[in-house]
Structure 1
Amino acid sequence: MAARKPRKSGKSAKPEKYERGTRSYTMSHIRGKDTSIETLTRSYLFRRGLRFRKNDRRYPGHPDIVLPKWHVIVFVNGCFWHMHEGCSKHSMPKSNVEFWKAKLTRNRDRDRRQRAELEEMGWHVITVWECELDRKHRDERLSRLYDEIIGVSH
């Protein structure tokens, strides 16, 4: 028997970044808490003297940072996973589009619902986006976050 030649697709697409099956494995190992942007934000707030609870399961959405003294909740969101609209870090994957669109839309809708619940409970909710914590904007955003927290009346 003759050896088979690999199929060529009609498109001259760029090669896949991952081998088949590897992307799913990689995506499944992305952490849901204690991400680098959460750690960065918590570290900054702690250095500024604020004390908080992290990932408190008593509240809708298990907020990343809960500051009971100030009655403030902070979510530190990744732009991809939470569909940050108008952000260059959020783009819809090109493969398995139906799955990703449904999943990311569910995430965004859940975030909105949980935010509304927390606000009904009397909490001031602040969202910090991943793109706001890049090197260029980090200092300004964290300083503004601190001011937002401190500025909230008890």
Structure 2
Amino acid sequence: MGWLAMRWSLRRFTLTKQVPLTISRGTTAAVEHLLLELEHGGQIGRGETGGFDTGQRAFSTAQLEQELMGWLPQLEAAGWQEPAHWPALLAPLSAPARCAVDLALHDLWGQLLGQPLWRLWGLDLRGCQPTSVTLGLAP
């Protein structure tokens, strides 16, 4: 397998929440997501995305799946092996599709180099804090 050779797979899955989450836009008990796997050199990079609706923009999981299935075949020939090229490479994708590919490429990059991403990004792990919390609304 050459440096450019890559295999990819995309599959839908459902995450069922232990407790339904209520936020200002409604309550959800389960969400459908897409898992993207990029494989090269025996390593697998994984990225994930899912549909959402903010009231201003909406992306269904089916739309994202169709977008990615149409775009992914060109990835191998598009210079994926160089992280500096990724912003331009991913620019044509919608934000949630771009998220899945960006995550999978970064994960694969770290796997191929045998390094955690925080180190490749030059971060001091002692200064990193959890950054994502969603607070539900009381019923």
TM over 0.5: no
**Larger strand proportion of the pair:** 2
TM-score, with structure 1 as normaliser? 0.26
Query: Highest Rg: 1 or 2?
Result: 1
Q: For CA contacts below 8 A with separation 6 or more, give which structure has more relative contact order.
A: 2
**Larger helix proportion of the pair:** 1
